[in-house]
Amino acid sequence: MGKFIAGKLLQYLIVIFLMLTLNFLLPRLMPGNPLVFLAGEDVGFMSSAEKEAILDKYGLNDSILEQYGAYIKNIFTGDFGYSYQQKRPISELLMERLPWTMLLTGLGLVLSTVIGVMFGAISAWRRGTRTDANLLTVFMFLSAMPSFWVGMILVSIFSAQLGWLPVFGAESAWSNYTGMDRLIDIGKHLILPLATLILISVTSTFMIMRYSMLNVLGEDYIMMAKAKGVKEKVIKYKHAMRNALLPVATVFMLSLGFTLGGATVIETVFAYPGVGRLMFESVLSRDYPLIQATFLIITFSVVIANFLADLIYPLLDPKVGSRNG
Amino acid sequence: MNTVLSVENLSTYFKTDKGIAKAVENVSFSLNKGEMLGLIGESGCGKTTVAQSILRLIEYPGKVVSGRVLLNGRDLIKASEKELSSMRWKEISVIPQSAMNALNPIFTIGDQIMESILLHENVSKREALQRTKTLLELVGIDGERWRSYPHEFSGGMKQRVAIAMALACNPKLVISDESTTGLDVLTQAQVIALIKSLQKKMDLSVILISHDLPMVTAICDKIAIMYAGNIVEWASTEDILKNPRHPYSQALLNASPDLSNPEKEVVSIPGSVPNLVDFPHSCRFHTRCPYAYDKCRQENPEFKEIKKGHYVACFLEEEGNHG
Amino acid sequence: MVNQKWKKYWQVLTSNNIGLFGLILLVIFLLIALLAPILAPFDPSARVGDPFMKPNSQFLLGTNDVGQDILSELLYGTRISLLIGVIAAFISILLGCLVGIISGYYGGKTDAFLMRLVDLVLVIPFLPLMILLAAFIGPSFWNIVLVISLISWASPARVIRSQVLTLKTKGYVEAAKSIGTNITVILGRHILPGVIPIALSQFVLAASHSILIEASLSFLGLGDPFTKSWGTILYYAQARGAFLTDAWIWWVLPPGLLITTLVIGFAFTGYSLEEILNPRLRKER
Ligand SMILES: Nc1ncnc2c1ncn2[C@@H]1O[C@H](COP(=O)(O)OP(=O)(O)OP(=O)(O)O)[C@@H](O)[C@H]1O
Ligand code: SF4
Ligand SMILES: [Mg+2]
């Protein structure tokens, strides 16, 4: 098991290293003035002294290796650079936005997994019936809809037309709610983005769960349990469920990246103040350092979440759990 | 007579893309206490389907369409789910084909054996564990290994675990469905010897499904020969060996290498098993039978007792002009 | 013989309701794309009406913020969405086949290395990476195609590899290798015929993904500014707040429905192709 974890860890470190390198090279290799990429499009309005200061800060006059070393060191000490457009250190901006993204995607992942697993299992248990066919069709359609569009339609219906829920943001501005009232306000703002995120990411779990449950149901040990006289409910939940969940756990990890990507778009639609929305804003204003930093932070989150999932996986699968003790 | 199991006119069909596959049609036989019956036939002839029909494990797209399966006088086909649960494993158990996959990978083997004991008997967990260890020892596995997961065992050991599990609740009847497939020859022989010795020791009735005719003739009291969904001949091992009546039985005996007479030519049966979908009304063996005549292509021969305890389905018996 | 096999696939595909439905959708969209100049009442880039007009007999789906006919925009948009989807999918499947075949054929260290690479790529959150790349290299038709295909080759590569491995176990390949058969012959005779059908179903599925990704990128303002895709139309609808007014019914709903339908067309075709090629799946239904 130690070996399994170590292998995974190495893999993630390589991902991080590659993405850091890509981030480092992009502004320096793209044709055009690297200053624009490092400091944003406003450089045109800067005095030459200011430009010198920036060149100096990024060490653009040093050798590329020295620059690279300094860059890595900065990232690992939490220094993501400075947004010249927002006139604030980027790490500060990220810290402000990160909790909202974690709230949205964390809840979204958990709920869409639970819902997908439930319906996937039901679909498999009733294979060949109308219920199965209907569920399949519904979930196929869900996965075919563009995430942002689902969000827009939900806003049109529930906020603009019916007026039930707020249109955008994570909390009402200038309201100064406190305590319970604030929580309710946050909850109301969360419903639509969360629903959108669940709707668009639930299908992959559903499909995998259905397929994996079908496979498990065809296994001899399920028939054996039946022959032993084990009750159907116990077979479903005790014997089949955990086995069927194994592939779901693997896909769960893969879908992390997808969900976070989806969150980027959804946060944009709802002007939800998370990291994804920050990325969109930085794209709009061509604030390149900020684009890069948001990308890095999203990648880091995915990798860390993946790693956590890897740590949990052996608890589900004795084959991995007992390997090498 | 002390009949444990009696199967009467059992038919099981499968719905397939191409039509209804009559995988088992009109099968009848019975089994006495302490008897070992060998069920023999080519791959795909319906042996597993018979076993699963008896155990009532046939699921969609399959269905038992007719017949009775009397276990100690009670009809399993008609039994309610509740009755069935109480009879399963206590009265009838199975060592499945590919016992390798019969163990759930996420539970220890001890848990799986104990589960069946706890399910059917009113005993404490400790007692169940004690019995589990004894059972493991019985099949030649260290009792302390009950904590192991299936993947930590070799194929032969898993097979033994499956046997131990089948015996957990002292059943009266055990169905062993080719439970040695996938094992090397030596282990196969060991497992079969184990089943035989346990059968003697516990006075079990056993249905031994196999396509290894020499092995079956060596250890079974009676033999039923299946062809394309029918049992074509059922008799004592002695009668089958000395006086096989059905052309298929004769061919089968000729086809298997005779150890006592290695000079004898090995004949393989020409032709192949017919498609079971929409099978025409006829003797199912007629496409490969050297004696087939007009009647065989139009009617299905009845499964008849030609002599005490010797049943055959072939028109030649009725006409009395056996070749 | 090969021809016969394809004929059989075709028969199964068309006898399968889902597959047939998907195919019909694809044909319809192809026709719309080809016939856009005939079907569209106006030039989609011309200001033919007042801004923000409601649907009327002249402009069936109203006009947008600068007075362009939305219906015409949608009809022409089919071309971009379809084209980007298909080209990006094609390139990513080509890459996927290359990696998958090399990996499966050579095995050993090469295989281990390439599959590690695939694992790596699959971990990366692809949409943010695309946004990053698109932001740096700038929005244009080909850049979008490039970005999508650079990131979508990984999972097809894995599928192709396992197919190559299955083909290898059939023994012809090893046998051919051992008697020193030329690699191009082995590829052409033993590997490609087995890989192409799988690659086809992967291609169709990849196309459905690419269309969704393109829509997302365009919606984030990273689409080609000169050719409006459905995603771009929605970008403007969002930017002008159309979804907060009654205009959502004619400006927001239709492009999304079109995207969904096109994606469904590809997905249904792809799934039933997969089902045909994977008898295991077929049995279970
Ligand atoms: N789930 C199923 N769906 C359709 N047909 C089936 C199904 N299960 C079995 N059959 C058909 O029923 C027939 C009998 O199969 P069965 O498994 O009973 O054969 P068998 O004698 O046990 O063969 P083997 O020696 O290979 O185990 C076969 O023709 C098979 O194709
Ligand atoms: S009934 Fe006819 S075809 Fe069938 S076994 Fe007897 S002789 Fe042969
Ligand atoms: Mg069988």
Q: B47: CA distance to ligand 3 center in Å?
A: 5
For the ranges A1-5, A152-156, B214-218, which has the lowest average pLDDT?
A: A1-5
**Which of B27, B47, B176 has most ligand 1 atoms within 8 Å of its beta carbon, as the pocket-test mutant?**
B47
* pLDDT reported for residue A42: 63
* pLDDT reported for residue A325: 36
Percentage helix, strand, coil for chain B under 3-state DSSP, each rounded to 5: 35, 25, 40
Whose CA is closest to atom 17 on ligand 1?
B48
Classify residue B249: in a domain, yes or no: yes
* pLDDT reported for residue A85: 73
Dist CA A30 CA A41 (whole Å)? 14
For the ranges A55-59, B234-238, C89-93, C260-264, which has the lowest average pLDDT?
A: A55-59
Which CATH number belongs to the domain containing residue B290 in this structure? Answer: 3.40.50.300
Instruction: Give contacts of A216 with chain B, Cβ < 8 Å.
Output: none
* Chain C contact partners (≥3 CB pairs within 8 A): A
How much is the mean pLDDT over chain B?
86
Nearest chain A residue to C254 by CA: give it: A149
Classify residue B213: in a domain, yes or no: yes
Report which DSSP code applies to A204. Answer: H
Is residue C282's pLDDT more than 60? no
* pLDDT reported for residue B248: 92
Interface of B with A in 110-139 (CB under 8 A): 115-116, 119-120
Interface of B with A in 140-169 (CB under 8 A): 149, 151-152, 165
What band does C283 get if pLDDT is binned at 50, 70 and 90? very low
What band does A324 get if pLDDT is binned at 50, 70 and 90? very low
Hey, what domains does chain C have and what are their CATH numbers?
10-42+58-281 (1.10.3720.10)
Whose CA is closest to atom 6 on ligand 2?
B314
Query: Residue C264 and residue A299: Cβ atoms within 8 Å?
Result: no
List the one residue out of C271, B82, B58, B60 whose CA is nearest residue A124: B60
Q: What is the tens place of the pLDDT at every residue in B88-124? A: 898 999 988 777 788 998 899 999 999 999 988 889 9
Ion ligand 3, residue ranges at CB < 5 A: B 48, 97
* Domain range enclosing B252: 3-91+171-319
Residue bearing the bigger pLDDT, B321 or A163:
A163
Classify residue B157: in a domain, yes or no: no
Q: What is the tens place of the pLDDT at every residue in A30-86? A: 766 666 666 666 666 667 777 777 767 666 667 777 778 877 887 877 777 777 777
For residue B48 and ligand 1, the question of a CB distance below 6 A is answered with yes
What is the sign of the dihedral through the CA atoms of C158, C163, C169 and C174? negative
Q: What is the tens place of the pLDDT at every residue in A90-107? A: 888 888 888 888 888 889
Q: What is the tens place of the pLDDT at every residue in B215-271? A: 899 999 999 999 999 999 999 999 999 999 999 999 888 876 555 554 444 445 666
Is residue A323's pLDDT more than 50? no
CA distances (Å), B131 to each of A229, B116, B125, B150, C49, in order?
19, 11, 10, 19, 88
For residue B276 and ligand 1, the question of a CB distance below 6 A is answered with yes
* pLDDT reported for residue C4: 65
Is residue A121's pLDDT more than 80? yes
Average pLDDT over residues C104-113: 86
Residue A244: enclosing H or E segment and its boundaries? helix A241-269
Is residue C83's pLDDT more than 50? yes
Q: Are B28 and B50 in contact (CB under 8 A)?
A: no
- Return the bridge partners of B3, or none: B32
Contact A221/B at CB under 8 A: yes
Point out the residue among A140, A214, A260 whose CB comes nearest to the CB of C125: A260
| B201 CB burial (10 A radius; 0-12, 13-18, 19+) | exposed
* pLDDT reported for residue A87: 77
Q: What is the tens place of the pLDDT at every residue in A217-269? A: 888 899 889 999 888 889 999 889 988 888 887 777 667 777 777 888 888 88
Residue bearing the bigger pLDDT, A197 or A255:
A197
Classify residue B144: in a domain, yes or no: no
A179: left (phi over 0), alpha (psi -120 to 50) or beta: left
Classify residue B99: in a domain, yes or no: no
Instruction: Give contacts of C231 with chain A, Cβ < 8 Å.
Output: 146
Average pLDDT over residues B193-211: 89
Hey, what domains does chain A have and what are their CATH numbers?
90-324 (1.10.3720.10)
Query: Residue C260 and residue A127: Cβ atoms within 8 Å?
Result: no
Is residue A170's pLDDT more than 70? no
**Could you tell me the pTM of the whole model?**
0.79
Q: How many domains does one find in chain B?
A: 1
Q: What is the tens place of the pLDDT at every residue in B48-90? A: 999 999 999 888 788 999 999 999 888 999 988 888 888 889 8
Classify residue B237: in a domain, yes or no: yes
Contact C136/A at CB under 8 A: yes
β-strands B205-210, B173-177 pairing: parallel
Query: Residue C128 and residue A294: Cβ atoms within 8 Å?
Result: yes
Q: What is the tens place of the pLDDT at every residue in C30-70? A: 988 888 788 777 777 777 777 766 777 777 777 777 767 77
Contact A91/B at CB under 8 A: no
Average pLDDT over residues A126-133: 83
Instruction: Give contacts of B152 with chain A, Cβ < 8 Å.
Output: 322
Classify residue B132: in a domain, yes or no: no
Classify residue B276: in a domain, yes or no: yes
Whose CA is closest to atom 5 on ligand 2?
B314
* Chain B contact partners (≥3 CB pairs within 8 A): A
Mutate to test the interface with A, among C136, C233, C240 (most CBs of A within 10 A): C136
Query: Residue B103 and residue A322: Cβ atoms within 8 Å?
Result: no
* pLDDT reported for residue A59: 65
Sheet holding B62-71, edge to edge: B19-32, B3-16, B62-71, B74-75
CB burial string C231-240: b at 16+ within 10 A, e below: bbbbbbbbeb
Is residue C74's pLDDT more than 90? no
Dist CA A200 CA A219 (whole Å)? 31
